[in-house]
Amino acid sequence: MNKVLFWLLLLVLSPMAVIIVITPMDSQKQYIFGLISIAILFLLGLSKNQKISLVMVILSALMSTRYIWWRATETLHFNSEIEAILGIGLFIAELYVWLILILGFLQTTWPLKRTIEPLPDDINLWPTVDIYVPTYNESLDVVRDTVLAAQCIDYPGNKLKIYVLDDGKRSEFAVFAADAGVGYITRNDNQHAKAGNLNHAMKLTQGELICIFDCDHVATRAFLQATVGPFLKDPKLALIQTPHHFYSPDPFERNLRAARHIPNEGALFYGPVQQGNDNWNATFFCGSCAVIRRSALDEIGGFAVETVTEDAHTALKLQRRGWGSAFLAIPLAAGLATERLGLHVIQRTRWARGMTQIFRLDNPLLGRGLKWQQRLCYLNAMLHFQFGLPRVIFLTAPLAYLLFNLNIVHSSAALIFAYVLPHLVMSLHVNSRMNGRFRYTFWGEIYETVMAFHLVMPTLMALLSPKHGKFNVTDKGGLLDVGFFDFNIVRPHIITVILLCIGIVAGLVRALAHNYFNVDPYVIALNIGWALFSLIILMAAIAVARETRQVRKTIRIDVEIPVIIHYASGISSRSTTSDLSMGGAQIIAPDQRHSSDEIEEIDLLLNSGAITIPASIVTADDHIIRLKFKEIPLSRRRELVRVVLARADAWIQPMYPKDKPLYSLLTIVRTVFELFWLTWKARRDKRKSPVEEQQEDHAA
């Protein structure tokens, strides 16, 4: 009955929607209509009701569609071929953004918020699980703790087997696997990269379920008990994916102060997007932190090898065969984020190329087996990675008028603003309401701008020749002794900034003498405003390239655990940790004994017992003692992993505050200011003489 009412309501309201979209208005009437629409939207926003959110989404979609209709029917008139080429290019870019906006609304408006499905009390009913840890060129320091954390997972030992899949064929990995008591699998070639590695392991193992962790992803003890239950309840469930949580800062968080206090780049995808996909049975497999049914993989011939994004392609193949997928939005494992902006660009370029390959080789809009909602969810994911060229167009479009006096939008400034204002304000407000705890307003522009220039050629090449290109492994666990500015990554951004500055100056000159140049000052003002916004976003993107030092080999995590400090004199004291890492600890000083009595070891007091770890002081003051752990045996390190990285609640974090769009824009402006301030400060410090530095250090 509800479906009948829905379609009846849709039939009745469709003519009204068409009238809203296509009715032409002059600038004054459009201003009034737009402002009334914005006011209605803000009034509706006072309610937190989900149905009201749906109404707001519809209103925003209608206003954005009205803008695109106006652009298509009223503004595509040009005086020259170059204006036509640039103007149509801009319109296609806007059409792309409109499509992504509509598809995004489809994905995120109905999120499915799953809870943990408990396992049956009878352990005999639990399925057998093989845990795969694929590795190629990563160091043993990175892989070791992933394997030890997997051994800490609370699951019956006779039903769990762990395998290191070493495509690097390294003897030290084989020795470690033997010492740790886990399986070791290698092969003669590296055909099909990670997908080939996983498929080879499938031939040598028998577990009913396969759990995959990238070699830097450490699992919590509760991982399998939180993810295996749904497979018993639903025999057609093929995949359950959990978020990729990172316990080390990504380049944005490390290099931008403001980014440390906002949701990270992946929060939107591993929140509303994947939950929305889950509602339509379109959850993406993300290559790690997931459990997959072996029989489902056997049915599709194993992990997909046709593209460099074997994960998403594998999920698509499973869903084409009618298998189910699920997403559990609880961080049950954590890994290392890309340490350098350059590595971040390489990783995202691979993702973009892979999703473009799928679009060409196994287009979700074509073929059998998918519902229309699944097709659109995949289409959005694949089109998303085409943002490179549209983003470059948006950043540089005002230069056409400011530098070359080319009119690429055939309309008055007043009418353009009248149509653009409600479109932008309403879409920003609705997205902030729907996803504001996962992506702050305007920060998506920075994330995309950093990547935009680097994605244009790879995505175009993948569209033209999808079978070219190879799988690139993202390096993890590196250190950086000295900070530097990665000029190579942001060279095109800097060139664009210079051009925009020249354009703004030229625009100001023409505006001041508009009678002489015979130009409309309002058109110039509109283009200067557009250029200034592009300039702010570009400068914030450039600021990410200011790489800060990364000297910690292991990441410290805030955790309070009782400890006993053992001194060389034989005296012991009780205290508490303030943070822990796999390489050391920070302890609250119980007294001043550490200033005269050497610390030899500490006991971490756990519910399961005490762990004794030899340690030495790195630095200390009256309140804090910073310790470095000495070499410890594997069994003891496993217990340390259990304490530091594998706690069931290790990665559960409070929600971020609600997004405030204007405040978010101010933080971006502050980021641009900090780029100049920190650059000037670094140069000043570099010019100081050694004597001045010694004097400052002595004063400090």
Question: What are the contacts of 563-566 at 24+ separation with CB within 8 A?
Answer: 563/587, 563/602, 563/603, 563/604, 563/605, 564/602, 564/603, 564/605, 564/610, 565/590, 565/594, 565/599, 565/602, 565/625, 566/599, 566/600, 566/601, 566/602, 566/603
Per the CB < 8 A criterion, the answer to whether 72 and 91 are in contact is: yes
DSSP secondary structure string, 318-334? HHHTT-EEEE--S--EE
What is the DSSP-derived secondary structure letter of residue 187?
A: -
Q: Which residues contact 472 (CB under 8 A, 6 or more apart)?
A: 308, 346, 347, 350
Per the CB < 8 A criterion, the answer to whether 179 and 116 are in contact is: no
Identify the active-site residue in 166, 167, 362, 475.
167
Q: Which of 148, 150, 203 is nearest to 176 (CA)?
A: 148
Q: Can you list the positions of beta strands (E) in 225-327? A: 237-241, 245-246, 290-293, 324-327
DSSP secondary structure string, 325-386? EEE--S--EEEPPPSSHHHHHHHHHHHHHHHHHHHHHS-TTSSSS--HHHHHHHHHHHHHTT
Burial class (CB in 10 A: 0-12, 13-18, 19+), 302: buried
Q: Which of 203, 364, 387 is nearest to 277 (CA)?
A: 364
362 flagged as catalytic: no
Tokens of 34: 């737009």
Tokens of 164: 């290191």
- What are the two backbone dihedrals, phi and then psi, of residue 492, each rounded to the nearest 5 degrees? -65, -30
Indicate the helix (H) or strand (E) that contains 244: none
Angle at CA of residue 509, ends 504 and 512, nearest 5°: 120
Per the CB < 8 A criterion, the answer to whether 368 and 309 are in contact is: no
Q: Which residues contact 606 (CB under 8 A, 6 or more apart)?
A: 561, 639, 643
Cα separations in angstroms, 283 against 243, 296, 546: 11, 15, 35
Per the CB < 8 A criterion, the answer to whether 486 and 340 are in contact is: yes
250 flagged as catalytic: no
Tokens of 4: 């009948």
Identify the active-site residue in 166, 250, 311, 362.
311
Cα separations in angstroms, 352 against 5, 124, 316: 41, 43, 16
Sign of the alpha-carbon dihedral angle for 490, 494, 496, 500: positive
Tokens of 364: 């979700």
Show which residues are catalytic: 167, 311
